[in-house]
Structure formats: structure tokens, C-alpha cells
Amino acid sequence: MDHVLLSSWFHHCSSVPLSYVQLPENRPDMVVASGNSIPVVDLGVLDHAQTLKHIMKASQEYGFFQVINHGVSKELMDDTMNIFKEFHGMSDEEKIRESSRDQNGSFCKIYTSRENNNKDLVQFWRDTFKQKCPPSQEFMEFWPQKPANYREVVAKYTQEMRKLGLRILELLCEGLGLDPKYCCGGLSDDPSLLAHNYPPCPQPSLTLGSPKHRDPTLVTILLQENDITSLHVLKDGQWIDVHPIPYAFVVNIGLIFQIISNGRLMGAEHRVVTNSGITRTTVAYFVRPTNEEIVEPAKALTSSAAPPIYKSITYEEFMKIFVRNGADTYEQLLLL
């Protein structure tokens, strides 16, 4: 069971295996704040100042928002979701083969629970396919060839995500008083795509699809299915359901942008719960720096009155800390 994908054995389970049972304090109590939801930002509004105001308010108060009228076609969003549902529906052998064209797993890989899996730790109820998608579209020869049209659809989708990600970053930078192009180049030139598959779980109250965490990104852009609510955001000590809006994207601030903003924007903690009835698929686009890029508070946002509160560090070193410390990464990066 520990050596194959969750999708190949979950349907044999009448209870959650012990290795997937969360500690009592981490289990989803399913109590969420009623009448509260993350903000919605309309990117189609012609009033630039109004858009800027809304996106900054959402980022400062929640660290999460949904975007509508974003310019990505409904057809492409449907095609992308369908291609990954089909991918995760293939046999284990096919998925592993299609994810293993790159022998060392640098550009594509598939795994259960988490990428750097420690079998001594509690596992999470998900399979994940991860691929790098640099703007140059190099390394496409390592991408899956199945399902049919995978490369064509995902290439178009990642191009659109690149445009949308940069547009959102430009708005955030402008809102902070930085050059709108501040995050262009090395700070956003190594994006990756993660397609998560959360099968039905026999005991949703005992496990999680994803633990409470912040993302190691500038921003994350999430495509989720329209009729399944499983994403929770922590706001003022309470969990908020992120109810899907048809053809909207969920956007969240990551730890990297938190550092760049010198703490003016915070990466919101979030988690994923499971359900007993239906498989859930999501597609997350991570806007990330290249490994050698220096991550630090923007100098324009620091002064003698507002000194930097985070260390200057390469993204490669940041990721080592993130993998080692997980939820405690934030504290490890503070200048004490």
C-alpha cells in the first residue's frame, strides 16, 4: 500500500489506514465560519484604480481571493480540467510511465501524499502530478503524451497562466508602490503546475487532503471543480470555505511575496479536507523564482523606520528550509 498510488487502492478501504489518520489536534472538525467567504476581484472592470484597491484589500485582509473576467477562455479551463481528470483516471502503470520520461524527476513526477515523503510521518489523502512549465516551454519532451492532446492543452493553459500570473503580480507590486515589473524575470521564471487528485475517503473526519500550510510561491492560481467545496482558508482563527465560482480562479499570496512585501502582505494558511462521495481534482499553477534568485524584502519597502524583517536568501536555500520545516518556515526566515 505504501508503494503505489492512492487511486489504485482507496476503493478497497472501509476505514482510513492508520498511517493516514491525523493527530486529534489536526483533524478537520468541519466547523467553518458561516456567512463568510473570500473576496472576489473582477479583473474586467475598466476602472484601474478600483481594481487595484480591491486586489490589495483582499490580499491584505485575507491573502486569498477569487478572480473573474480574467481573460482565460471557459473552453480552455474545461479542457484543462478534463485532461487532468482523465490523466488521474488512467492506470497506475500508465501514469507512472507518462510521468517518468525524465529519469531523475526534475521536470515531471507523480507521487502520493507529498513530494518528499517520509513514511514515518502522517500521510495525506491525495495523489499529485507535478511538472515544471518554464515560459520558454523547454523540456516539453518530458511531459506526458497521454491522454491525447495533453501537451497541446497544457501548453496553452500554462501560457495563459503565465500571462494571468504576471498581471496579478503587476497589480500587487503597483499597489505596494513598487515598479509593476518588479517580479518579472528571475523572481517568476520557474513556474510549476501541480494537478491534485483527492479520491473519496471512507472517514473524512480522520484525515486531510492537505495540511494547514502556506505556499512556497509568489502567488498560486488554482483551478477547482465547480461543485465540490473542500478548500479552507484560515481567517482570524476560523476556517472559511472557499466556495467554487464557475470559471473563476482562486488566487493566494505565497511566502515569497510575503517576504518581498516585508510582511505587508501575508501568505494565508489553508488546508484541504476530504469527502466520502466524490473524487476532487484541482490544478494549481505555482509562480516561483529560479533557484539562484535572491529572495528578500524589496529595498523600496524598507527604511530605518521599517527595517527588513526577513533574511536575504536564494530560492534554493528557501526551499531547503521549507521542505525541512514546513509550517514553521515563516519563523525560520525572520531576522531575530
- Number of domains comprising the chain: 1
Residues spanned by the domain of 30: 20-332
Check: CB of residue 233 under 8 Å from CB of residue 39: no
Q: Is residue 4 part of a domain?
A: no
Amino acid at 42: D
Q: Is residue 7 part of a domain?
A: no
Helices and strands counted in the chain (H then E): 7, 14
Q: At what angle do helices 48-61 and 150-176 cross, to 10 degrees?
A: 90
- Predicted local distance difference test score (pLDDT) of residue 168: 98
- Predicted local distance difference test score (pLDDT) of residue 2: 43
Q: Is residue 51 part of a domain?
A: yes
220: domain CATH number? Answer: 2.60.120.330
Cα separation values, 261 from 164, 174, 224, 258, 289, Å = 20, 11, 28, 5, 15
Q: Is residue 322 part of a domain?
A: yes
- Predicted local distance difference test score (pLDDT) of residue 1: 37
Neighbour tally for 44: CB within 10 Å: 10
Q: Is residue 14 part of a domain?
A: no
What is the residue whose three cell numbers read 523547454? 138
Q: Is residue 6 part of a domain?
A: no
Q: Is residue 143 part of a domain?
A: yes
The model's pTM is 0.95
Q: Is residue 11 part of a domain?
A: no
Q: For the chain (length 336 residues), average pLDDT per consecutive 10?
A: 76 92 86 76 94 96 97 98 97 92 82 78 94 83 93 96 98 97 94 97 95 95 92 91 95 96 93 94 97 96 93 93 76 70
Check: CB of residue 90 under 8 Å from CB of residue 146: yes
